[in-house]
Structure 1
Amino acid sequence: MSVEPDPGVLEGLDAWEGLSAEQQPSWPDATRLRQVREKLATLPPLVFAGEADALRAKLAAAGRGEAFLLQGGDCAEIFAEATADRIRHKIMTVLQMAVVLTYGASLPVIKMGRMAGQYAKPRSADTETRDGVTLPAFRGDIVNGYAFTPADRTPDPERLLEAYHTSASTLNLIRAFTTGGFASLLRVHEWNRGFTANPAYSRYEEIAAEIDRAIRFMAACGADFDALRAVDFYASHEGLLLDYERPLTRIDSRTGLPYDCSGHFLWIGERTRKLDGAHIDYFSRVQNPLGVKLGPTTTGDEALALMDRLNPNGEPGRLTFITRMGAGLIRDRLPALVEKVTADGRPITWVCDPMHGNGIVSSSGYKTRRFADVIDEVAGFFEVHRALGTVPGGLHIELTGDDVTEVLGGTEEIDEEGLSRRYETRVDPRLNHQQSLELAFQVVELLRRS
């Protein structure tokens, strides 16, 4: 039986249009933008309300220390890279990390990709100037092209439709890979054995051997590995472009309530989380589980105000705070924030983004990060929560399944000269496949020390 939506709910969904909306493109053709939005509004949902509800329950468990979130994927997805091979490699990487973390934390790991919608990026300036020529900044494939030409850099509403169709095909592959045996525990474990067989990663052999013994024990006990052939894999992205998110909002026939059906989990970035802004208003009105990025200047009062707007009733799993402090600041800035929020009493799931607070520029001009800083911020995150008796609920990582060279360090010892070998990102540097797995093994070591 369908439930009719409250007319007031529908009207409220568009209240954001009268508010300040940060980081939105200057679309040159308002008529075509309206036509594209109308088309998007008629297309099938990319995800379903029931899936978002299931994820909310799992995130609530992560907030209580009964599960752990692993959220990983590209800084900015590229339409041309939405190929079966690249999608498979990213899924493989997240699944491999999840097996290691599941064993190390002795908790179920929620698997979530920055995939099937992560096409838009906020920028520090609206324009970019090269050799005296000024053009709009690249805001991701969903808005404009990367090539520095007037035609490519002009925002094009048609790209919103391309983002939808690329997301649909990506989700189709994700569902096929994660339900058709590709994600079998036995297969993923074999991939990890290949990783630790490399002498460079011998320090992780002991943990890998323990996982191997655990799986052999399960097999000896008659574990039904057929039941472990499929996993739940959720899609997430930054809810940046409201001209994309609002048309993909659907009313759930079970409850009459709105869901943003562009992804299971949407987060609000550091640049768009103004309390009186359009993003907070719109996302306060949809039922999806939400995240908010919190940088080192965030105060406890600001965090509580965000809770008042986005989760006033304290529904478990509704709101995740994703902290991005930087390795040098997390131990100083995070404790007061966590203490203030904890004292409030409403549940929050705390997740660490160790990527965005650790950006540097190499002497050769590449935007990069140091693997050691990424690890150090994760360590600080665990240390703070351990000291306060609160729960570290997960990790939010920019990664790829490919062997790029974008982040300095790791056992492979990528140096500044090595960055040029395969520096492929268009925006932020990502951990490559090997660095991602190494991160998972090092997190297990951190968990054991705690």
Structure 2
Amino acid sequence: MFGGQMPVIKVGRMAGQFAKPRSAEFEEKDGVKLPVYKGDNINGDAFDEKNRNPDPQRLIRAYSQSATTLNLLRAFATGGYAAMQRVTQWNLDFVEHSEQGNRYQELASRVDEALGFMNAAGLTVDHPIMTTTDFWTSHECLHLPYEQSLTRLDSTSGLYYDCSAHVLWVGERTRQLDGAHVEFLRGLSNPIGIKAEVRAFFDVHEQEGSHPGGIHLEMTRQNVTECIGGS
């Protein structure tokens, strides 16, 4: 926000991403064939029959953990942790001693100096805009029974919203135009994301006369297939 002089909407992929899309229904190791791991809200990752069998209780635990995460997020966002005066204390440990970490600290110091000037000039810096933040959540709309159970009708507008997240997206394996996931998302009023190559994403919007609302860049220090070109 400081660097671009533009408002920034903060969206986090959290509080609900417990299902994993899979290309096959079964996995085989050393002659043993078991259902594939489909995410912690369905079955377990360990390769044995007990863990790989679907367990409905996992959906209850996933919901409880998501609700707990959201409560913690609200506490951080409104309880002073997000105050601009703490900008120099915000850091990501794994980039703290990297080039990116150094660039962040430099920018944070500039913000801190600007806040100091505002305070010295008599401008208040304890306004809620400076001490709290709005934070939105997002995940892939994958496990339809879970998403359907958390969908509600807004009685004031007559519109349906999936309350499992603010922003939902349809993934690479579930974006068939005649599929159940697209049909379900078609009836929602949530903002919807679609996984597509970035240039094609902008090309489609240009052809349709619409504008891109934003792009999602996925980053991790772990060697996951989604970030290195695997399936």
TM normalised by structure 2 equals 0.85
Match of 2:222 in 1: 406
Structure number with higher helix proportion: 1
Deviation, 1:254, is 0.9
Matches of 2:174 and 2:82 in 1, distance apart?
36
Match of 2:57 in 1: 158
2:73 corresponds to which of 174, 188, 193: 174
Runs of 4+ off more than 4 Å: 192-206, 427-430
Unaligned runs of 5+ in 2: none
Unaligned runs of 5+ in 1: 1-101, 296-322, 324-333, 354-396, 400-404, 408-424, 431-450
Matched-pair contact (CA < 8 Å) for 1:264–1:289: yes
Matched-pair contact (CA < 8 Å) for 1:196–1:208: no
Match of 1:218 in 2: 118
Matches of 1:340 and 1:428 in 2, distance apart?
23
RMSD: 2.8
Q: Is 1:120 matched with 2:19?
A: yes
Classify 1:348/1:202 alpha carbon distance in 2 versus 1 (closer, same or farther; 3 Å).
Answer: closer
Classify 1:346/1:104 alpha carbon distance in 2 versus 1 (closer, same or farther; 3 Å).
Answer: same
**Aligned AA for 1:124?**
S
Matched-pair contact (CA < 8 Å) for 2:87–2:108: no
Match of 1:147 in 2: 46
Deviation, 1:202, is 4.4
For residue 54 of structure 2, give the secondary structure of its aligned residue in structure 1: coil
Classify 1:208/1:189 alpha carbon distance in 2 versus 1 (closer, same or farther; 3 Å).
Answer: closer
Match of 2:161 in 1: 259
Classify 1:254/1:158 alpha carbon distance in 2 versus 1 (closer, same or farther; 3 Å).
Answer: same
Deviation, 1:192, is 4.6
**Aligned AA for 1:406?**
Q
Query: Which gives a bigger RCO, structure 1 or 2 (Cα 8 Å, sep 6+)?
Result: 1
Matches within 5 A, 1:270-419: 270-295=172-197, 323=198, 334=199, 337-353=201-217, 397-399=218-220, 406=222
Matches within 5 A, 1:438-449: none
TM normalised by structure 1 equals 0.46
Matches within 5 A, 1:65-80: none
**Aligned AA for 1:183?**
A
Match of 1:105 in 2: 4
Deviation, 1:113, is 1.3
Aligned residues: 225
Identity of aligned residues (%): 46
Q: Is 1:238 matched with 2:140?
A: yes
Deviation, 1:235, is 1.4
